[in-house]
């Protein structure tokens, strides 16, 4: 119950500075991009209103667009596939390691690094052996020279190399979240389970899983947001190339607007991205509301 | 008699269990150890790489220590504008953090404590905004800023940084402020304190823990941000550290050691802070994720 009665002016002074900046920077641009998505415009000169032509072209006549949507979704799927691994690691840490803090903090280290450092580091690791790339040098050293690849310039593997870097960077984050979730399950619950004959992974299946369903939701939302942030990483590492092989929705948007100077078309992609995000958040919330109802 | 056999049986069970556990334990530690290597070794490798000469790097001895540490790599890296980038990053990040804390604590206070009709609605606005990805605003913001003539200034990145940090900050702060007992404010009102006074000398000092969480989240996100800075900033003397690192590394395509050195220098500030505040940072990031 909020009790403080204050004048309108006081409320305005407390809320407006924040709200104005927020609406001006987040919501106004979205509306602007919905509108400029209907323009044929290079961002500088004259613009002509073309209605929904950009969206039509995007959905039906753009050979790069749907593959880029698929890659964006695959990014989310791969990030979510990491969650069970992180959960297993968290369970092992909780059960077998007496002082897990050191390991947890070490696993977490890549999370706090800038995407530029991570991207450039892995670019160096993926380099050909003749340019000092560690991965290919290791393969050479163990006699698997034929497995060596141009990891970022071969269109058939470039995207998987990028998925892997994202998984590498965020494994620690998911592990930490699951670990915190497990640590918050009170010990006497496991005590009671042991008396009833459930121990080890059996106890995890019947107790840990249901109790940390809300934590899964956090991880999944995080994986989804993380897969959108892959944008920065891809811009640093490949820029969407070779030949669009690593384009995701946002790199396609960026390249269309800033490289090809099709500002109106880029805006229509941005509008699509916003709709996709809102829809995905809605779906995730819907599914988890059902799950939480079933388990509570 | 019955009890003694039971005890003996228990001991036996415990012994076999311990034996089985030692094998399991070995496997577990192997798995966790491998994971430790994959997560940390690339960073260590980068450190070694940055101290090697080009010949050593190209020779394929990826595991070896450098023969003699090539400090020249670091001096080559420092001849770039490293300190300028560092100062820019410190400036942009601290202005953003201060603005986020002032603005969002004011707003969170109004949402969580004032009696007014639109408190819930304002909160919903921020929650919806949380789902909007920053990239989607990149193009329209660029045009808006160009028309406002603030493109290629620090203001053009600070404004979006502040705006995109606010929802999570307000969420964390208002969640905390809801739990402050009302009696504190009531007695302050009785003593004749105005609303500004209550906020600045009672509410803010109590809210230090969530403010710290907000600081950590904002710091990690803004310090590492790359694409916005790379899009809105073009002059060399305004670049932030991630942007500066990236442009340096892209230019220096043949001096591998210097590239490594610049990457190490780019990662160094945040790693130092992580060593000092690891527990606080991990707790803050979990709180941010849990509440987001």
| B102: three-class secondary structure by DSSP | helix
Are A30 and B132 a contacting pair at CB < 8 A? yes
User: Distance between CA atoms of A157 and A163, rounded to whole angstroms?
Assistant: 10
State pTM to two decimals: 0.88
Between the alpha carbon of residue B172 and those of residues A186, B8, B128, the distances in Å are: 24, 55, 15
* B86 min Cα distance to partner chain A (Å): 14
Q: What is the pLDDT of residue B212?
A: 92
How many whole angstroms separate alpha carbon B286 and alpha carbon B172?
Answer: 12
C-alpha A216/C-alpha B117 separation (Å) is: 34
C-beta of residue B125 within 8 angstroms of C-beta of residue A30: no
Q: Is the pLDDT of residue B12 over 60?
A: no
CA-to-CA separations, A165 to A79, A121, A127, A211, A258, in angstroms, rounded: 11, 10, 14, 31, 26
Q: Which residue of A has its CA nearest to B254?
A: A131
Tens digits of per-residue pLDDT, A223-237?
A: 887 787 788 899 999
Distance CA A290, CA B29 (A): 37
Q: Which residues of B209-238 are buried (b: 16+ CB within 10 A; e: fewer)?
A: ebbebbbbbbbbbbbbbbbbbbbbbeeeeb
On chain B, the residues whose CB falls within 8 A of the CB of A14 are: 106-107, 109-110, 114
**Residue A3 scores a pLDDT above 90:** no
φ, ψ at B252 (rounded to 5°) = -85, 70
Q: Do A257 and B139 touch (CB under 8 A)?
A: yes
Residue A145: Cβ within 10 Å count? 11
Nearest CA in chain B to A264: B139
CB nearest B133 (choices: A114, A221, A273) = A273
- pLDDT value at residue B53: 81
Is the Cβ pair B170, A96 closer than 8 Å? no
User: Tens of pLDDT along A91-136?
Assistant: 888 888 888 888 888 999 999 999 999 999 998 889 887 777 888 8
> ipTM of the assembly?
0.87
How far is it, in rounded angstroms, from Cα B123 to Cα B174?
9
Convert the pLDDT of each residue in A21-78 to its tens digit. Answer: 999 999 999 998 888 888 888 777 777 888 888 888 888 888 889 999 999 989 888 8
Distance CA A58, CA A44 (A): 22
Q: Give the residue from chain B lying closest to A216, CA to CA.
A: B290
Helix spans in chain A (H): 8-22, 28-36, 53-60, 65-96, 101-108, 115-126, 134-141, 155-183, 187-195, 200-203, 209-211, 213-237, 249-254, 263-295
B4 is written with which tokens? 């003694």
Rounded to whole angstroms, the Cα distance separating B148 from A78 reads: 41
Q: How many CA atoms within 13 Å lie on the side-chain side of B218? A: 31
Of residues B74 and B211, more confidently modeled = B211
Which CATH homologous superfamily contains domain A65-246?
MetI-like (1.10.3720.10)
Please tell me the CATH superfamily of domain B80-291, with its number: MetI-like (1.10.3720.10)
Task: Enter the DSSP assignment of B200.
Answer: I
Peptide bond before A24: cis, by omega within 30 degrees of 0?
no
Which residue intervals of chain B are DSSP H helices?
Answer: 2-50, 54-58, 71-79, 82-113, 119-130, 138-148, 154-177, 182-190, 195-198, 204-206, 208-224, 227-232, 241-251, 256-291
Task: Flag if B231 and A21 touch (Cβ within 8 Å).
Answer: no
Residue A110 contacts B where some CB pair is shorter than 8 Å? yes
Contact assignment for A29 to B131 by CB distance below 8 Å: no
* Nearest CA-CA partner of B257 in B33, B115, B48, B113: B48
Nearest to B144 among A29, A171, A177 (CB): A29
Mean pLDDT of A271-289: 86
Record: contact B45-A10, CB cut-off 8 A: no
Q: Do B132 and A121 touch (CB under 8 A)?
A: no
**For position A206, what pLDDT does the model report?**
76
Check pLDDT > 90 for residue B102: yes
Distance from CA of B1 to the nearest CA of A (A): 24
Q: In this predicted structure, what is the pLDDT of residue A7?
A: 81
Residue B191 near residue B181, CB atoms below 8 Å: no
pLDDT for residue B159 is more than 90: yes
Average the pLDDT over A78-88 and give the result: 89
B245/A32 CB distance under 8 A = no
Q: How far apart are CA B102 and CA B170, in angstroms?
A: 11
Nearest CA-CA partner of A279 in A65, A58, A18, A69: A69
pLDDT at residue number B69: 79
The Cα–Cα gap between B179 and A278 comes to 31
DSSP-derived letter for residue B141 is H
pLDDT tens across A176-224, in order? 988 988 888 887 877 787 887 777 777 777 777 777 877 888 888 888 8
Residues of chain B with CATH 1.10.3720.10: 80-291
Contact A136, A129 (CB under 8 A): yes
Contact A138 B62 (CB under 8 A): yes
Question: Rounded distance, CA A255 to CA A240, Å?
Answer: 8
Whether B245 and B266 have beta carbons less than 8 Å apart is answered as yes
Q: Which one, of A220, A232, A194, lies nearest residue A84 by Cα?
A: A220
Contact B115 A4 (CB under 8 A): yes
Q: In this complex, is the C-beta atom of A38 within 8 Å of any C-beta atom belonging to chain B? A: no
Q: Say if CB B265 and CB B76 are below 8 A apart.
A: no
Q: What is the mean pLDDT of chain B?
A: 85
Mean pLDDT of B182-186: 84
| pLDDT tops 60 at residue B2 | no
* In chain A, residues 44-83 whose CB comes closer than 8 Å to chain B: none
What is the structure's pLDDT at B170?
92
Give chain B positions within 8 Å (CB) of A105.
274, 278-279, 282
User: Does A101 sit within 8 Å of B163, measured CB to CB?
Assistant: no
Q: Of the candidates B32, B43, B113, which has its C-beta nearest A2's C-beta?
A: B113
* Residue B112 to residue A75: CA distance in whole angstroms: 37
DSSP state of B85: H
A239 in the Ramachandran plot: left (φ > 0), alpha (ψ -120 to 50) or beta?
Answer: left
């Amino acid at each position: 119950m909020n009790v403080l009665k204050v004048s309108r002016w006081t409320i305005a002074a407390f809320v407006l500075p924040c709200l104005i900046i927020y609406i001006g920077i987040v919501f106004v641009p979205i509306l602007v991009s919905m509108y400029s998505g209907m323009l044929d415009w290079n961002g500088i000169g004259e613009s002509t209103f073309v209605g929904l032509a950009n969206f039509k072209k995007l959905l039906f006549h753009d050979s790069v667009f749907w593959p880029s949507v698929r890659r964006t979704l695959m990014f989310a799927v791969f990030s979510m596939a990491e969650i069970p691994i992180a959960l297993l690691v968290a369970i092992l840490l909780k059960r077998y390691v007496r002082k897990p803090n050191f390991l947890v903090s070490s696993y977490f280290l890549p999370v706090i690094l800038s995407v530029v450092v991570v991207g450039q580091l892995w670019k160096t690791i993926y380099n050909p052996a003749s340019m000092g790339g560690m991965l290919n040098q290791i393969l050479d050293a163990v006699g698997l020279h034929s497995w060596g690849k141009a990891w970022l310039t071969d269109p058939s593997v470039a995207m998987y190399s990028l998925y892997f870097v994202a998984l590498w960077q965020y494994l620690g984050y998911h592990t930490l979240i699951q670990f915190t979730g497990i640590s918050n399950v009170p010990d006497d619950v496991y005590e009671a389970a042991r008396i009833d004959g459930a121990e080890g992974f059996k106890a995890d299946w019947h107790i840990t899983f249901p109790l940390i369903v809300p934590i899964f939701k956090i991880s999944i939302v995080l994986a989804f947001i993380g897969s959108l942030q892959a944008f920065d990483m891809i811009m640093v590492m490949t820029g969407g190339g070779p030949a669009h092989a690593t384009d995701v929705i946002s790199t396609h948007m960026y390249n269309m607007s800033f490289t090809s100077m099709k500002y109106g078309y880029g805006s229509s992609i941005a509008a699509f991205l916003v709709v996709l995000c809102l829809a995905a958040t809605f779906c995730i919330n819907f599914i988890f509301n059902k799950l939480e109802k079933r388990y509570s | 008699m019955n009890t003694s056999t039971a005890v003996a049986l228990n001991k036996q069970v415990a012994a076999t269990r311990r034996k089985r556990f030692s094998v399991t334990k070995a496997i577990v530690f192997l798995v966790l150890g491998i994971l430790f290597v994959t997560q940390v070794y690339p960073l260590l490798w980068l450190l070694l790489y940055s101290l090697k000469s080009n010949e050593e790097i190209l020779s394929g001895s990826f595991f070896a220590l450098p023969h003699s540490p090539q400090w020249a790599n670091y001096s080559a890296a420092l001849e770039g504008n490293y300190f300028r980038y560092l100062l820019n990053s410190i400036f942009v990040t601290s202005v953003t953090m201060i603005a986020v804390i002032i603005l969002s604590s004011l707003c969170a206070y109004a949402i969580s404590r004032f009696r007014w009709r639109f408190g819930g609605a304002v909160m919903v606005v921020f929650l919806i905004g949380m789902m909007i990805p920053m990239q989607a605003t990149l193009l329209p913001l660029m045009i808006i800023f160009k028309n406002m003539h603030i493109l290629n200034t620090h203001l053009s990145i600070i404004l979006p940084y502040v705006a995109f940090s606010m929802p999570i900050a307000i969420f964390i702060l208002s969640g905390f402020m809801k739990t402050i007992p009302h009696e504190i404010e009531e007695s302050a009102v009785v003593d004749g304190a105005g609303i500004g006074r209550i906020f600045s000398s009672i509410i803010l000092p109590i809210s230090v823990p969530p403010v710290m969480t907000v600081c950590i989240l904002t710091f990690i996100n803004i310090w590492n941000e790359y694409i916005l800075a790379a899009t809105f900033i073009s002059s060399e003397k305004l670049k932030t550290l991630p942007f500066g690192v990236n442009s340096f590394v892209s230019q220096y395509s043949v001096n591998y050691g210097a590239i490594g050195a610049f990457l190490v220098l780019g990662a160094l500030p945040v790693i130092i802070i992580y060593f000092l505040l690891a527990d606080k940072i991990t707790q803050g990031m979990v709180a941010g994720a849990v509440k987001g």
